[in-house]
Amino acid sequence: MAKKRDRQAVSNRRKNQVVSSDDHQNIVADSSSDRRLITIFVIFFIISPAISALVYLKYTSSGKFSGASVFERGLVKTDISYQEILAEHSNVAGNISRNYDYPVLAYITPWNSRGYDMAKKFNSKFTHLSPVWYDLKSHGSHLALEGRHNVDEEWISELRLTGDALILPRVAVEAPPTDLLRKKKLKDKAIDLIVTECKEMGYDGIVLESWSRWVAYGILRDPDMRNLALQFIKQLGNALHSELESTRSKQPLQLVYVIGPPHSEVLEEHEFGPKDMESLTGAVDGFSLMTYDYSGAHNPGPNAPVNWIRSTLRLLLGTKDISLVQHKAIKIFLGINFYGYDFSMSGGGGAITGRDYLSLLEKYKPVVQWEGISSEHFFLYTDYNRNKHAVFFPSLKSIFIRLEVAQSFGTGISIWEIGQGLDYFFDLL
């Protein structure tokens, strides 16, 4: 309505300007003033809104998206709104080349099929892909590597055709460690099962997760058992390195080992530390560092405070002078979460995916805030039962800061997991 009224006013002024030639000299100043007024009205009330509308249509899902990156659209910032997230999250740059040259390991879980689609869509962004498929289990005195039923061979074939990312399925060691690590026959059997599966399925190696399980069994406080644990990892790595992947790279099979972050600035007895890393360096090709889940239901807060990430890296590398340990840092895949948490302030809460996050934004229309110390975005809301909640979920800015941390330390990154985030997160990689 405002635009219609402005146009009518302009029209009326134009009619009033139709005068005889005798009066022309008397009103030329008034006419000039009117033209300036008309110009101002046209710019501010017609052209500017039209341009704004075009820009909005260009960069939101309701219009035709141009393919500009999140950087070009000015979205990597601390001052964001729920409206902007809802409008922009599905818009991904047309150029899917990598922004960083360090290794990028991405996890995919069978219970979240969206991750499979993201792996295919953004294949060129990754150097390593790890589908979470296998468990090494004990059945009485026998070992079994379970999980082949999870394998999607067609998906692997598609990935091989469109990119060069290595396929390293994750193997979680569920078998009780006491017998596994002490009995040579069982240990040899476990290694043979893993190596054979890699060869039969054409994998490029594996990601092994065992340390957190062994911590739960309490064996790593015993120096002898800890030594046996490290020997098992070394033996597995050496066995994989002795095999060449038969169909693709002609390179030795790789071993990436999953490690948890220390819980304080002083390493506890059971925690993985710089001496353990030094011991395994020759046998392990990379360490997937789980720098997330800093907070929990009983201590709500940020998922991965950036200062904690930095201190974790310094502690694990054994020095504050990063220039001295670049050869170690390059083997670390710094963990970045693509999921968040919805905490109830009265206690409880749980992990949420991008889909859950968007649903909360649509439902509660919250004010999204920046927490500068942790470098994370969060918002507060009150549910229909009057329970207060705090939601921490990664944002473009928080992820970008962590990618830059990896760059400054000389590490790679690992993402848990790519089916849980928002599409435009991939613009950053």
106-165 confidence digits (pLDDT tens)? 999 999 999 999 999 999 999 999 999 999 999 988 999 999 999 999 999 999 999 999
Q: Look up the CATH number of domain 96-339+395-428.
A: 3.20.20.80
Q: In what order do the strands lie in the sheet with 340-344?
A: 349-352, 340-344, 388-392, 376-382, 369-371
- Annotated domain spans of the chain: 96-339+395-428
Predicted model pTM = 0.84
pLDDT of residue 27: 27
Averaged pLDDT score across all residues of the chain: 86
% the chain with pLDDT above 90: 75
**Band of residue 250 on the pLDDT scale cut at 50, 70, 90:** confident
pLDDT of residue 7: 33
**Band of residue 25 on the pLDDT scale cut at 50, 70, 90:** very low
Three-class DSSP category at 112? coil
Q: Give the C-alpha distances (Å, rounded to integers) separating 253 from 150, 270, 285, 337, 391.
A: 21, 29, 10, 27, 41
Q: Is the pLDDT of residue 18 over 50?
A: no
The pair of three-digit structure tokens given for residue 219, joined into one six-digit string: 């064996």
pLDDT of residue 64: 64
